[in-house]
Structure 1
Amino acid sequence: MLVSLNWLKQYVDIDGLAPQELAEKITRSGIEVDAVIDRSEGMTNIVVGYVVSKEKHPDADKLNVCQVEVGEGDVRQIICGAPNVDAGQKVIVALPGARLPGGIKIKKAKMRGQESNGMICSLQELGVESRLVPKAYAEGIYVLPEDAVPGSDALELVGLRDTVLELGLTPNRSDALSMLGVAYEVAAILSKEVNLPNIQYETVSEKAEDYLKLRVDALEENPLYAAKVIKNVKIAESPLWLQHYLMAAGVRPHNNVVDITNYILMEYGQPLHAFDYDSLETKEIVVRLAKEGEKIITLDDQERTLNDHNLVITNGLEPVALAGVMGGANSEVTESTTTVVIEAAYFNGQSVRRTSKEIGLRSDSSARFEKGVDPNRVILAAERAAQLLVELANGEVLEGTVLVDQLDKTPARVVVSPDFINTRLGMKISLEDMLAILERLKFDVEAANGLLIIDVPTRRQDIKIEEDIVEEIARLYGYDEIPITLPEGNTQIGGLTPYQLKRRIVRNFMEGAGLYQAVTYSLTSDELAQKFALKAEETTKLLMPMSEERATLRQSLIPHLVEAASYNVARSAELVSLYEIGSVFLGQTAEELPYEEEHLAFVVTGKWVDNSWQGEKLNADFFVAKGIVEGLFEKLGLTNRVSYEKASVDGLHPGQTAAILLDGEKVGLIGGLHPIERKKYDLKETFVAELNLKAIIETVTEELVYSAVPRFPAVTRDIALELDRNKPAGEIEKVIRDAGTKLLKDVKVFDVYEGDKMEAGKKSVAFSLTYFDPERTLTDDEVVNAHNKVLKALSEAGAEVR
């Protein structure tokens, strides 16, 4: 809603209050002011001019040499290219030194050899949007009335010495979709009175009911319809003040009759429509529901096909308007119109909205009916229009109003106690202050038996219940006046749960390791739903999937990560390293819903290291993926409780796949993608892993204990063992750790050899063992004794020391 302050001043005294200050007060009372627009901002030295003469430019067909008086006999030559400029016109002139919107400065200039001392302006050049400029001046300069005084302030004359407030209204505040509604709001904020229009006019002796018959066949959709008949109307341009109020409100002027209906729309918030009485032909108005397939050509020259629930205004034979949305072209007011029928009605908002949506046509009128108009302003708006048609169009109003009225206009009654208001607000407002606020809002209120009995004006259709009154009291008392209090009772400081904290640690570690987080679909195809699953359960399928590829809930994160890797590699990504934390859906719970389990999965492929300046390049391999998993477990304090077992998983390489065990229970898998799978996705060596994150995070860990950096040296012993080729090194490492005394602190594999110097079916695995005591330096005998225990255990396990 655009509110011109010059227009608003007609109804409430806001003199002495700066626009920014008024905007702040309105915003603090509950209606946000989105913008304060100074319509003359930056414009200077713009005056009224009189075109004394006009001659064609000697060297340019489209230019005219004009002699323009700009006040007190000061005549200046101005070159103008507007097609409608002519001698005898009063025009808008920007003198040399003037500034226009956009920082444009007007200077003396020569145009094709002729001197130009200024510029004759169009409204667009003064910052008025083209869609708001009257059509007669859309392609040229704006012509002022004959009584305009040369040299006077042109901006004042065309209404640009004005400030407009742009209100950001919420749907419930339909009352503020009118100037009077805003006036009531501002008057309540400033404790001022509202000056309502004084409606007075004379009628002729003829009666409206003798000229027009009315029948409403759809009373549910249209309980109130009023029509005024005005004859001998003179169609002409509206006076400047009316045009400029409309343009400030975002409405384009047309002619005096149409402009009056639009003016009332903005003033009262009540949509009106003007019919050409002679075009009605039958001299009858019938309001009914349309016939299925019935057609109407609306004012925008579009043919509309109607449904049987669309409400239409007819002449008894055919539709002449879509009720509450737009009039018909067959009853449009034209320059030849002499008798006008003004329609003021109350249409059901749902009916108007349905019609508006179906035909794809939304108007200022439909917007107001949808949100609800004031039932007590309908007839008043028609009377106001009749008054203005007398004043501005020389019309003669026929006596009486053609009326069908079955609308309940009883105001809503809300009964609330002051204690209820104060309890809800958490403060103490006196009864006197409450009564004063309600009186400022023009609510009829009576205090009786400890209660406030409030009859809410029908213009405020958003006030229905006690809490609405609480809001009205609070916003006008001042939200800033509500005291700051601390909540009572036991309070709990917010924070992350232990699970959330560990999940965040996991995410930070994965990103620190160089992986990017991915988010993929939870829905997949039936074929991929259980592929790579840590455990296969009954799948959950959608009843109405959007496609076969998105028909089943996943039981593994890996398939979609592999697809994402393939997508990126196809776009020349040399390294793809992605991880995802998400749910998989396993079987069903007692509520017949899938059980959700949070998993972590990642995929790596491509150049893991690429230091070109050092000539160092390394592709991702199994040990890179395993290193990520090991680093994660170390971060979570679970290193010594994790082990790996050789595994076979469909889709993974048989020699590069392992199950991940936590305390002996399977919690994940890691492996290289099988060559067949790689070929399917057009990938090179690719490695994946998936972990049951829920099980890992919920594993109880010992409290983290820090130890000092050792002051004493460690002793290292290396041993090479001859093993069966199929013997996992992890089993031997476990034997070493179990046999080692408390002096054994670390065991690492540092070499594996399977060359031609080894016996067939054998391999050599070399381990490095680290012994130390944090309290003293170890002796050779202590190290030898501890190491011998390890060698003995290895011998018993069938591992031969080379």
Structure 2
Amino acid sequence: MFVSYKWLSEYVDLTGVSANELADLITKSGIEVEGVEVLGDGIKNVVVGHVLECEQHPDADKLNKCLVDVGDEEPVQIICGAANVGKGQKVVVAKVGAVLPGNFKIKKAKLRGQESHGMICSLQELGIESKLVSKEYSEGIFVFPTEVKPGDDALQQLNLDDEVLELSITPNRADALSMIGVAYEVAAILGREVKLPKIELTTGSEKASDYISVSVEENQDNPLYVARVVKNVKIAPSPLWLQNRLMAAGIRPHNNVVDITNFILLEYGQPLHAFDYDRLGSREILVRRAKSGEKMTTLDDTERTLTPEHLVITNGTEPVALAGVMGGANSEVQNDTTTVLIESAYFTGPTIRTASKDHGLRSEASSRYEKGIDPSRTRAAADRAAALMIQYTGGEVLDGVVEVDTLSAEPVKVTITLDRINKVLGTSISSQEVSTIFSRLQFETEVDNETFIVTVPSRRGDITIEEDLVEEVARLFGYDNLPTTLPVGQTFPGKLTDYQEKRRKIRRYLEGTGSYQAVTYSLTSSSKVNQYALETAAPIKLSMPMSEDRSVLRLSIVPHLLEVLSHNLARKVDHISLYEIGSVFLSNEESRLPTEKEHLAGAATGLWQSNLWQGEKKSVDFYVVKGVLDGLFELLGLQDRISYKQAKLDGMHPGRTAQVILDEEVIGFVGQIHPTAQKELDLNETYVYELSLKNLLEAKVEDATYTSIPRYPSMSRDIALVVDQTIAAGVIKEAIIEAGGKLLKEVSIFDLYEGERMEDGKKSVAYSLRYFDPERTLTDEEVTKAHSKVLASVEEKFGASLRS
């Protein structure tokens, strides 16, 4: 809803409140103002000009040489290329030195040898959207339709000195879809009065009932239909002030009759429709449901096929309007129209919504009917439109209205106590303050011993229960004025569980490593369901699968990530790392429902790092992916309880795969996809991992302990041990740590050698051992003694010898 600040000020005194201040107040009261637009922002030195002379440019067929009075001592010469420029016109002139939208500055110029001192402007050049400019001036310059003086401020004449507030209206606040509705809201906020428009209507001696009759078959869809007849109208452009208001609200002007109906729609929130009486084809209006397959052509020249769900206005035989949505082309007001039938009706929302949706027609009228209009304004809107037609079309309004009224609208009364209001809001508002708020809202209120009986006005259809009244009190009292308190009780809402907090840390960590989060299907095919599964179980089949490829619940996430990699590689995304946290589903004999376990899985291929300037590249390999997991375990405080063991798994590379073990329990695996599987999926070298997230996050972690930084130096010893190739380096490392005693603090592997100078079946594994005592400086003898124990242990357990 676009609300003109100047127009709004005619209904509410806005003295001392700027447009931006008003926008802030409206937003704080519950209706969001998305922005405030200054229509003529940045435009300077644009005035009204009077074209005194206009002749063709001597050296250009499509240019005109104009002598224009711009209010200065002497008229100026302006070269204009518009086809519709002519002598005697009052036009918009941007003088030399003027600034137009886009910071376009007007300078003195020469066009084909003739001087030009300014520019005669179109509305588009003043920043008005083309779709809002009337067809008459959609091409060419704008000509003022009323008497204006040369030199007057053109922005003021065109209402471009106005500011427009854009209100975001929620479906429950249909009352704010009109200027009067917004006026009631603003008046309540500011504590001021609403000035409603005065309707001064004079009628002729002829009776409207002699010209038209109205009957309604579907009273539940159309309980109120009001018709007025206006004779002897003259179709012409509407006055400039009316066009300006429509354009500010986002509606394109057409002619005086149509513009008046649109004006009333904006002012009262009551949609109107104007029929050309002589084109109706009868003296009857019949409102009924459409017949199956019945056709009509709407104002947009589109033929519509109707159904019995659509409500139509007919002339007794054929449709002349799709009720509440759009009029028919066969009864459209045209330039030769002399008699107008004004329709003002109350249609129920669901019926209009059905027709609007079925035909893809969402109009200003339908959007208001869908949300609900105020039936008490239906007659007033018709009278206001008729009065304006007398004033601006020269028409004569026939006496009386023709109507069908089966509307039974009992006033809604809602009762609430002061204690209930204060208890919900946590306030101590007095009874007088609440009464004042209801008075500002213009709610009729009876007070009985701090119990408020509120009669809700028909314009506020959103108020039906006591909680609605609490909201009204809260927003007028001021949300910022409500007291803030801390929650009380044994538990506090909104806190993450330990499991949730750790899971969030994992997501952040993996995204920090450069991995993208993937979300894949929980369904897979029977042929893939057991691939890479950490636990084997009978597949759980869907009773009605969409397809065979999505017919069973998954046991592993890895196959889905491999599909994602394959999809990306086929589209030349060669370097990618993914992770997913999701559920796998295990059959449960005790229940029909499966056991759901949360897993963490990842997949990576291509380059892990690429520093082109230095010429450095690092491809994904086993140790890159293992390093990511090591960092994850360290984040969770489990690094000392995690170990890896070489493993052979189906679908995985036999020499580059390891089980991940937590406290002697296997919780997952990491490794390279088997080359055969890579080839089947058109993958490059790809590494994956999958872990039982439940086991990982539910593992109890001891509180972190800190030791002081060593004050005394450490001593290192490097050893290269020759052992059988079948012995895992990690097993040797564990034996070294066990034999090293309390002085051995760190052990790391830094080299592996299997070459021609090594005995068959043997390998050399090099370890770096670091010894220190936090309380003193170690002697050579102490380190040698501890180191000798290490050598004796590995020799005894593995037959290891020092490499010479």
**Would the TM-score normalized by the shorter structure come out above 0.5?**
yes
Partner in structure 2 of residue 226 of structure 1: 226
Change (3 A) 1:407 1:88: same
Change (3 A) 1:420 1:73: same
Q: Distance in 2 between matches of 1:618 and 1:162?
A: 62
CA deviations over 1:533-561 (Å, ceiling 9, x no partner): 11122334455656544444332232233
Say yes or no: does 1:677 pair with 2:677: yes
Partner in structure 2 of residue 351 of structure 1: 351
Say yes or no: does 1:250 pair with 2:250: yes
Q: Distance in 2 between matches of 1:713 and 1:16?
A: 78
Q: Residue 87 of structure 2 aligns to a residue in which SS?
A: coil
Once the 2 structures are TM-superposed, how far is the Cα of residue 577 of structure 1 from its aligned partner?
4.6
Once the 2 structures are TM-superposed, how far is the Cα of residue 174 of structure 1 from its aligned partner?
1.3
Q: TM-score, normalised by structure 2?
A: 0.90
Q: Distance in 1 between matches of 2:517 and 2:695?
A: 21
Q: Is the CA contact (8 Å cut-off) linking 1:523 and 1:554 kept in structure 2?
A: yes
CA deviations over 1:138-177 (Å, ceiling 9, x no partner): 2222222463333333333333343322222222221121
After alignment, is 360-369 or 539-548 more displaced? 539-548
Partner in structure 2 of residue 647 of structure 1: 647
Say yes or no: does 1:519 pair with 2:518: yes
Partner in structure 2 of residue 668 of structure 1: 668
Once the 2 structures are TM-superposed, how far is the Cα of residue 789 of structure 1 from its aligned partner?
8.5
Structure 2 unaligned runs (5+)? none
Once the 2 structures are TM-superposed, how far is the Cα of residue 709 of structure 1 from its aligned partner?
2.8
Q: Is the CA contact (8 Å cut-off) linking 1:289 and 1:312 kept in structure 2?
A: yes
Once the 2 structures are TM-superposed, how far is the Cα of residue 400 of structure 1 from its aligned partner?
1.7
Once the 2 structures are TM-superposed, how far is the Cα of residue 360 of structure 1 from its aligned partner?
0.5
In structure 2, give the amino acid aligned to 1:459: R
Q: Distance in 2 between matches of 1:569 and 1:332?
A: 59
Partner in structure 2 of residue 19 of structure 1: 19
Q: Is the CA contact (8 Å cut-off) linking 1:290 and 1:310 kept in structure 2?
A: yes
Q: Is the CA contact (8 Å cut-off) linking 2:741 and 2:786 kept in structure 1?
A: no
Partner in structure 2 of residue 194 of structure 1: 194
Q: Residue 287 of structure 1 aligns to a residue in which SS?
A: strand
Change (3 A) 1:347 1:709: same
Alignment length (residue pairs): 798
Matches within 5 A, 1:716-735: 716=717, 718=719, 720=721, 722-723=723-724, 726-731=726-731
Q: Is the CA contact (8 Å cut-off) linking 2:735 and 2:793 kept in structure 1?
A: no
Q: Distance in 2 between matches of 1:247 and 1:620?
A: 61
Q: Is the CA contact (8 Å cut-off) linking 2:642 and 2:660 kept in structure 1?
A: yes
Q: Distance in 2 between matches of 1:610 and 1:154?
A: 61
Once the 2 structures are TM-superposed, how far is the Cα of residue 718 of structure 1 from its aligned partner?
4.0
Once the 2 structures are TM-superposed, how far is the Cα of residue 256 of structure 1 from its aligned partner?
1.7
In structure 1, give the amino acid aligned to 2:356: S
Q: Residue 143 of structure 1 aligns to a residue in which SS?
A: coil
Once the 2 structures are TM-superposed, how far is the Cα of residue 222 of structure 1 from its aligned partner?
0.7
CA deviations over 1:371-391 (Å, ceiling 9, x no partner): 111011111111112222222
Q: Distance in 2 between matches of 1:153 and 1:636?
A: 71
Partner in structure 2 of residue 164 of structure 1: 164
Q: Distance in 2 between matches of 1:704 and 1:224?
A: 76
Structure 1 unaligned runs (5+)? none
Q: Is the CA contact (8 Å cut-off) linking 1:108 and 1:117 kept in structure 2?
A: yes
Partner in structure 2 of residue 445 of structure 1: 445
Once the 2 structures are TM-superposed, how far is the Cα of residue 87 of structure 1 from its aligned partner?
1.7
Q: Residue 538 of structure 2 aligns to a residue in which SS?
A: coil
Q: Distance in 1 between matches of 2:360 and 2:735?
A: 79
Q: Distance in 1 between matches of 2:248 and 2:383?
A: 24
In structure 2, give the amino acid aligned to 1:358: D
Change (3 A) 1:788 1:39: closer
In structure 2, give the amino acid aligned to 1:243: Q
Partner in structure 1 of residue 468 of structure 2: 468
Once the 2 structures are TM-superposed, how far is the Cα of residue 531 of structure 1 from its aligned partner?
0.9
Q: Distance in 2 between matches of 1:759 and 1:50?
A: 108
Partner in structure 2 of residue 61 of structure 1: 61
Q: Is the CA contact (8 Å cut-off) linking 2:545 and 2:551 kept in structure 1?
A: yes
Q: Is the CA contact (8 Å cut-off) linking 2:652 and 2:671 kept in structure 1?
A: yes
Partner in structure 2 of residue 10 of structure 1: 10
Once the 2 structures are TM-superposed, how far is the Cα of residue 785 of structure 1 from its aligned partner?
8.3
Q: Is the CA contact (8 Å cut-off) linking 1:232 and 1:395 kept in structure 2?
A: yes
Q: Is the CA contact (8 Å cut-off) linking 1:325 and 1:365 kept in structure 2?
A: yes
Q: Is the CA contact (8 Å cut-off) linking 1:771 and 1:783 kept in structure 2?
A: no
Change (3 A) 1:656 1:392: closer
Once the 2 structures are TM-superposed, how far is the Cα of residue 615 of structure 1 from its aligned partner?
8.6
Once the 2 structures are TM-superposed, how far is the Cα of residue 330 of structure 1 from its aligned partner?
0.5
Q: Is the CA contact (8 Å cut-off) linking 2:344 and 2:381 kept in structure 1?
A: yes
Once the 2 structures are TM-superposed, how far is the Cα of residue 661 of structure 1 from its aligned partner?
2.8
Q: Distance in 2 between matches of 1:181 and 1:66?
A: 47
In structure 1, give the amino acid aligned to 2:196: L
Once the 2 structures are TM-superposed, how far is the Cα of residue 29 of structure 1 from its aligned partner?
2.6
Q: Distance in 2 between matches of 1:138 and 1:536?
A: 72
Say yes or no: does 1:597 pair with 2:597: yes
Once the 2 structures are TM-superposed, how far is the Cα of residue 363 of structure 1 from its aligned partner?
0.6
Q: Is the CA contact (8 Å cut-off) linking 2:740 and 2:786 kept in structure 1?
A: no
Change (3 A) 1:395 1:654: same
Percent of aligned positions with the same letter in both sequences? 53
Partner in structure 2 of residue 52 of structure 1: 52
After alignment, is 27-36 or 281-290 more displaced? 27-36
After alignment, is 80-89 or 522-531 more displaced? 522-531
CA deviations over 1:338-363 (Å, ceiling 9, x no partner): 22111111001111011001101111
Matches within 5 A, 1:333-412: 333-412=333-412
Q: Distance in 2 between matches of 1:32 and 1:140?
A: 38
Once the 2 structures are TM-superposed, how far is the Cα of residue 469 of structure 1 from its aligned partner?
1.5
Matches within 5 A, 1:165-314: 165-314=165-314
CA deviations over 1:728-783 (Å, ceiling 9, x no partner): 455555556556655565666666666677777x4345464848562563675895
Q: Distance in 1 between matches of 2:190 and 2:755?
A: 96
Q: Residue 762 of structure 2 aligns to a residue in which SS?
A: strand
CA deviations over 1:401-433 (Å, ceiling 9, x no partner): 111111123221111112211222221222222
Matches within 5 A, 1:747-786: 762-764=761-763, 766=765, 768=767, 770=769, 772=771, 774=773, 777=778, 780=781
Partner in structure 2 of residue 421 of structure 1: 421
Once the 2 structures are TM-superposed, how far is the Cα of residue 260 of structure 1 from its aligned partner?
1.5
Change (3 A) 1:112 1:545: farther
Q: Distance in 2 between matches of 1:381 and 1:10?
A: 17
Change (3 A) 1:148 1:643: closer
Q: Distance in 2 between matches of 1:552 and 1:703?
A: 42
After alignment, is 63-72 or 437-446 more displaced? 63-72
Partner in structure 2 of residue 151 of structure 1: 151
Change (3 A) 1:81 1:639: closer
Q: Distance in 2 between matches of 1:554 and 1:429?
A: 58
Q: Is the CA contact (8 Å cut-off) linking 2:747 and 2:770 kept in structure 1?
A: no
Q: Residue 597 of structure 1 aligns to a residue in which SS?
A: strand
Change (3 A) 1:767 1:101: closer
Q: Residue 159 of structure 1 aligns to a residue in which SS?
A: coil
Q: Is the CA contact (8 Å cut-off) linking 2:108 and 2:118 kept in structure 1?
A: yes
Q: Is the CA contact (8 Å cut-off) linking 1:746 and 1:770 kept in structure 2?
A: yes
Once the 2 structures are TM-superposed, how far is the Cα of residue 464 of structure 1 from its aligned partner?
1.3
Partner in structure 1 of residue 532 of structure 2: 532
Change (3 A) 1:157 1:717: closer
Partner in structure 2 of residue 131 of structure 1: 131
After alignment, is 344-353 or 571-580 more displaced? 571-580
Q: CA RMSD in A?
A: 3.3
After alignment, is 530-539 or 270-279 more displaced? 530-539
Once the 2 structures are TM-superposed, how far is the Cα of residue 328 of structure 1 from its aligned partner?
0.3
Partner in structure 2 of residue 704 of structure 1: 704
CA deviations over 1:82-112 (Å, ceiling 9, x no partner): 2122222232333333333333333332221
Change (3 A) 1:524 1:477: closer
After alignment, is 163-172 or 223-232 more displaced? 163-172
Q: Is the CA contact (8 Å cut-off) linking 1:743 and 1:786 kept in structure 2?
A: no
Q: Residue 666 of structure 2 aligns to a residue in which SS?
A: strand
